[in-house]
Structure 1
């Protein structure tokens, strides 16, 4: 059972507080906004810490007050940890997928460390990285993103994901929008289509690159890829995307 010290305590010893392992990085812009708000009117809102003085809720308020050289008000709740920190922060300033990534990497979660290496290497957005590494490509990756937030995300086939990412970058000389989300998902669909030959597509792209224009949806990109690939193809070797 959690023990709560309902009394609001006060201190100017900022060094007594600790960052809890796995908490997201401090957003300096958010700290700046808090400093401006506190300077205008100090509501003296307490931070929440556990019995180890690890900050559960209020790390941005703590830094803002420290930079303003103001005393910190705090409440102690025994037994709280990173799960409660995430919940508290999600009700205040929404956690991004990068926040969750940094949390689980710091906590030494293997799949998240692999994910970060992949993301840093290929410089793709989280949406594409999650899809490629989870292998969930066509039915939306909402469930995968929820798994990612909960810490249960798993890498399915790193070798395949790296191969697809490498092929995506081979499009760059012919299309500056090669990292657009809709294009990437259309391209992955093409690679997974029976009869589609990547080398043949690249060869045809060398003299049809002017056809590669920005589209607003995956389906439009699929029609574009189809049109480029089927140019001068015998009827029996043409592809059609479902």
Structure 2
């Protein structure tokens, strides 16, 4: 059975005494869990996060009062982890109905919340039918054991930003503005295949460090680089001793790449005063 929260009376009193204010929604509470529905377009339920939330609610029952948001068909738009935790504890669900909202708005509503990961957004936009995210999700599944979401998303992006631009990339992903580069898909996949080859060559039981993958990327995508030589000079000893900074890491790879090469075969580069690695353009 539905019941208004007691504090809604306070809100009504405030409304009557503040004619410039207006009522835009009603907060309700129920233990009829069956009327709520999860939506496959929303992010997947993170069981670990939900269990932690359950323990927090046990410690502080006031968290029961934080409403979840549902659409007119009672699909949960925001608050599915709270719903799970509260229903497991047999506690009432506090909720608001917004008949102007739908599951399509879920990523935008949650763009400022830390507990939504990049993968959550990618899956939601892919489920919504966005082909850019569907292609990206396929590549993430293909290369998840050898690289990270950030690098894979960067490699297949239409934007030609370098590996230092993860902040901008992450913001585009979360806003639904990621663009997958289908025209160069094979070439870009070649880089991740190259990383995979290095991984197995060195018999690693973990991913090649991100800074190394980024540094290798600088060299791999330079058309003048001999890929066979690049693969040959990158070994476990080199990787274990490379600096953590990806720009300095790229320079160290370059030092070894150019070692014993004739001057005309060397690839020249420099690190600028901002610490960024750059190749010297050839005439």
- Shorter-chain TM-score category? 0.7 to 0.9
Which deviations, in whole Å up to 9, do the C-alpha atoms of 1:150-202 show, x marking residues without a partner? 11211112111111111122222248476322222211211233531011222
Q: 1:4: how far off?
A: 4.5
Q: TM-score, normalised by structure 1?
A: 0.86
Comparing both chains, which one has the higher relative contact order based on Cα–Cα distances under 8 Å and sequence gaps of 6 or more?
A: 1
Alignment of 1:178-189 (within 5 A): 179-189=208-218
Structure 2: distance between partners of 1:178 and 1:225? 18
Deviations 1:218-240, CA, capped at 9 Å, x for gaps: 22221221122122211221122
| Runs of 4+ residues deviating >6 angstroms | none
How much has 1:109 moved relative to structure 2? 1.7
In the alignment, the residues of structure 2 paired with residue 4 and residue 19 of structure 1 have an alpha-carbon distance, to the nearest angstrom, of 24
CA distance in 1, matches of 2:55, 2:233: 57
SS of residue matched to 2:156: helix
- Alignment of 1:190 onto 2:219: yes
Structure possessing the higher radius of gyration over alpha carbons:
2
Measure the CA separation in 2 of the matches of 1:81 and 1:162: 36
Q: What is the TM-score normalised by the length of structure 2?
A: 0.74
Gaps of 5+ in 1: none
Q: When the two structures are aligned, how many residues end up with a matched partner?
A: 237
- In the alignment, the residues of structure 1 paired with residue 197 and residue 161 of structure 2 have an alpha-carbon distance, to the nearest angstrom, of 20
Q: How many Å separate the matches in 1 of 2:203 and 2:216?
A: 13
Name 2:154's counterpart in structure 1: 131
Q: Tell me the secondary structure at the aligned position of residue 26 of structure 1.
A: coil
- C-alpha change, 1:202 and 1:77, in structure 2 (3 Å) is closer
C-alpha distance 110-217 of structure 1, shift in aligned 2 (>3 A): same
Query: Does the CA-based 8 Å contact 1:24-1:99 persist in structure 2?
Result: yes
Q: Of 106, 111, 121, which aligns to 1:85?
A: 106
